[in-house]
Amino acid sequence: MRTLPPRLLLVISAAFAGLSVITLVLLSAAGIVEPVPAIQIAVSLVILATAVVIVTSVRRTDGKALRIDARTKRQDAVLIRTEQTLAQVAATLDGLTGRLEEAGRHQARVLLSALGEDRMELTAQADRLAQLTSAVTRIDTTVRQSSADLDDVRKLRHDHEQLTGLTGTAVQAVRDIGERLDTLGGTVRDGQAELAKSVRQNYAQLEALIDIRALLQPRAPLPRLRGWAASPDVLRLLIERIALDRTEIIVECGSGSSSVWLGYALQRFGGGRVVALEHDERFAEASRDLVIAHGLRDVVEIRHAPLAPWATGTPGETIPWYDTSAVEDLTDIGLVFVDGPPGATAPLVRYPAVPVLLPRCAADAWIVLDDTSRPAEREVADRWLREYPELSGTAHPAEKGAMVLKRSLA
């Protein structure tokens, strides 16, 4: 129960005592009450009023003390609960710290493994370049020696022809030897040129691989490039386009290590996603596992799209290509990388990529066709350029050849 403030109680008691004294004085003056009893009554009333004030103040003080005590107990309970919560948080943080330390050690092992693989791969490439350089030197020495020997044989032939005692059969034999040496010299020179070209190509691929690894810094080991996979120089071309255009949607015909590299590039240069089409279900699962291993599941999507007949428009003519339902939800595609289906599937098997995907591309989209060193891919690129005037193309000197096409809508 709420009590009145002490000051208010004092005022009320004083007023009551004063009013009582005044009343007694008036009654005594009127002769109704004797003066002595009136004084005694007035003193008693003052004492009573004072006692009421004191008792009320004590009760109020006791109530306040009780409230303070209850509040203190509540705060103690809150403190106990807070202490228990902090203990739980501390235990959670200890466990989290342990897990983070273990994850850090695991990540360090992965990075060290990746770096070790990179160093081994780069060392192997450097050893191969050294071997090729040594082979070129040996071949050059052989060519020079063969040239000198050829000159000697020609001189010998000339000398023998001048000898009157030399028979026609011997002269013909010397001529045959000279012709064979000429052929050998030509073969050696062709081999030297081919080997020098191979050395330059290996160096270019090694340089491109170092560039993209240093730029994107993959978090786990990656399968080897080249061969069936895209070459490092083509990947560097694609990554340059992503960096310049800040591409948001990429469609890749085919999947594998190139899907992971493109995912890293999108993470590095502002986001977006890669949609890779894969006709082989087992290879699609392997590509998904690779994407998960590199922590790119939110960037790269591998879609299983079995090959299905695609009508070219010519009666009775179809080309096997990815099931087109796999791309029906895509719009505003900024970059298309055509590296599938495999060329051995059918003639011009990569032709449908532009008829199917170009309507879903942005107005300034880029299309990169790989493997244009093969006649079928060159025919595909030529046909695209003839049939789609908004496309302009430039050949790129990649290891397996590439055609870079730019869409420009007026």
What pLDDT does 119 receive?
45
Tracing tokens 């691989």 back to the chain, one arrives at 209
Instruction: Write the DSSP assignment of 143-200 as a string of letters.
Output: HHHHHHHHHHHHHHHHHHHH-TT--HHHHHHHHHHHHHHHHHHHHHHHHHHHHHHHHH
Mean pLDDT of 134-140: 60
**pLDDT at residue 300 greater than cutoff 90:** yes
**pLDDT at residue 183 greater than cutoff 90:** no
Segments of the chain assigned to CATH 1.10.287: 115-216
Looking at CATH, the fold of the domain delimited by 232-407 is given as Rossmann fold (3.40.50)
Tracing tokens 């890669």 back to the chain, one arrives at 274
- Judged on CB neighbours under 10 Å (0-12, 13-18, 19+), 119 is exposed
Coil, helix or strand at residue 82 = helix
Span 19-33, pLDDT tens digits: 766 776 776 677 776
Maximum distance among all Cα pairs of the chain, rounded to whole angstroms = 192
Mean pLDDT of 167-189: 65
Query: Higher confidence at residue 88 or residue 297?
Result: 297
Least confident window among 82-86, 298-302, 326-330, 369-373: 82-86
Rounded to whole angstroms, the Cα distance separating 203 from 128 reads: 10
Residue 164 has which token pair?
């009157």
Residue type, 21: V
Residues in a beta bridge with 403? 369, 395
Pick from 217, 208, 254: which is nearest to 235 by CA? 208
What pLDDT does 309 receive?
95
What pLDDT does 389 receive?
94
Span 349-401, pLDDT tens digits: 999 999 999 999 999 999 999 999 999 999 999 999 999 999 999 999 888 88
Q: In what order do the strands lie in the sheet with 333-338?
A: 300-304, 273-278, 249-253, 333-338, 361-370, 402-407, 391-396
CATH number of 115-216: 1.10.287
φ, ψ of residue 274 in degrees (nearest 5): -110, 130
Are the C-beta atoms of 347 and 360 separated by less than 8 Å?
no
**pLDDT at residue 111 greater than cutoff 70:** no
**pLDDT at residue 344 greater than cutoff 80:** yes
Residue 285 has which token pair?
């699962």
Segments of the chain assigned to CATH 3.40.50.150: 232-407
Give the confidence band of 214 by pLDDT, cuts at 50, 70, 90.
confident
What pLDDT does 242 receive?
93
Q: What is the CA radius of gyration of the chain?
A: 48
Rounded to whole angstroms, the Cα distance separating 267 from 24 reads: 99
**pLDDT at residue 277 greater than cutoff 70:** yes
Pick from 340, 347, 313: which is nearest to 326 by CA? 340
Which of the listed ranges 83-87, 184-188, 366-370 does the model predict with the highest average pLDDT?
366-370
Rounded to whole angstroms, the Cα distance separating 46 from 44 reads: 5
Span 306-338, pLDDT tens digits: 999 999 888 888 999 999 999 999 999 999 999
Query: Higher confidence at residue 112 or residue 180?
Result: 180
